[in-house]
Amino acid sequence: MSAELILVVEDEPKLAALVRDYLHAAGFRSEWLADGRLALERLRTGPMPAAVLLDVMLPGLDGLEVCRAVRAFSDVPILINSARVEELDRLLGLELGADDYVCKPFSPRELVARVKALLRRAQGRLAPVTLVPAAGGFAVDEAGQRILWHEQALSLTPVEFRLLRQLLQHPGRVFERAQLLDLIHEDFRDVSDRVVDSHVKNIRRKLAALDPPQECIASVYGVGYRLDAA
């Protein structure tokens, strides 16, 4: 079996070389591009990599715009990295469909660990499907990291999957934002619990696209969220 290919989109040659060295040491192949527009064209026309490591500050087209465009045609795992640590950038990256987000400077070992985690989740989608019934006519496919409503599958990122699964497993229970943040971010990273609002916004948009639309996540003012299932 050939090694999995990771596309590294980074305009700092020394950092890109360091990341690629660590990826190769971990058994991956890598491809490097330093321009956002070229990376988008590569993803549109070339063989899809196993995952994409995507910098935000890129020439040609910034990483957030690349992420937005890629999500229109692919669910390839995307890990965004940037020196811009403002919460707005974190929220925006997640809203555009990134699966994970790390801030520079980062440990290359941690980056490789995050890539492996993303790939494990993505590969679970190929495992045999076992659907577990959940509230409101939903079903959870743990191996595939999917949630379905009457056979309609939601296209969820790993974090969105964990959040919605938690709500479905406890219908009627109110979860504080901080509780949900601890549940969905397994590494207990230091981010604002308002990140949960961004995830819920995305999930609600995807629920609204079902036929008929589902509006089952209720906001509890000043506290958090609750799943109301008929």
- Alpha helices of 59-214 — where are they, by DSSP H? 63-70, 87-95, 108-124, 158-169, 177-184, 195-208
Average pLDDT over residues 26-35: 96
Let me know: does 114 contact 107? Beta carbons within 8 Å. no
For 5-124, CATH number out of 3.40.50.2300, 3.30.420.40, 1.10.620.20, 1.10.569.10 equals: 3.40.50.2300
Can you tell me the mean pLDDT for 123-130?
56
Domain ranges of the chain: 5-124, 131-227
Amino acid 188: pLDDT: 45
The fold adopted by the segment(s) 131-227 is Arc Repressor Mutant, subunit A (1.10.10)
pLDDT of residue 20 exceeding 90: yes
Confidence at residue 114, expressed as pLDDT on a 0 to 100 scale: 86
Specify the pLDDT at position 3. 83
Per-residue pLDDT at 107 exceeds 70: yes
The whole-model pTM stands at 0.60
Using CA atoms, how far apart are residues 124 and 105, in angstroms rounded to an integer?
Answer: 30
Longest dimension (CA), the chain: 55
- Report how far residue 89's alpha carbon sits from residue 73's, in angstroms, rounded to the nearest whole number: 23
Residue 7 in tokens: 């596309």
- Tally of CB atoms within 10 A around 229: 14
Residues 198-209: pLDDT tens digits? Answer: 889 989 999 998
pLDDT digit string, tens, across residues 178-198? 888 877 665 545 556 678 888
Q: Is the peptide bond before 59 cis (omega within 30 degrees of 0)?
A: no
The H or E element spanning position 14 is helix 13-25
| pLDDT for 48 | 92
The proportion of the chain whose per-residue pLDDT surpasses 90, expressed as a percent, equals 39
Residue 98 belongs to what H/E stretch?
Answer: none
Confidence (pLDDT) at 157? 77
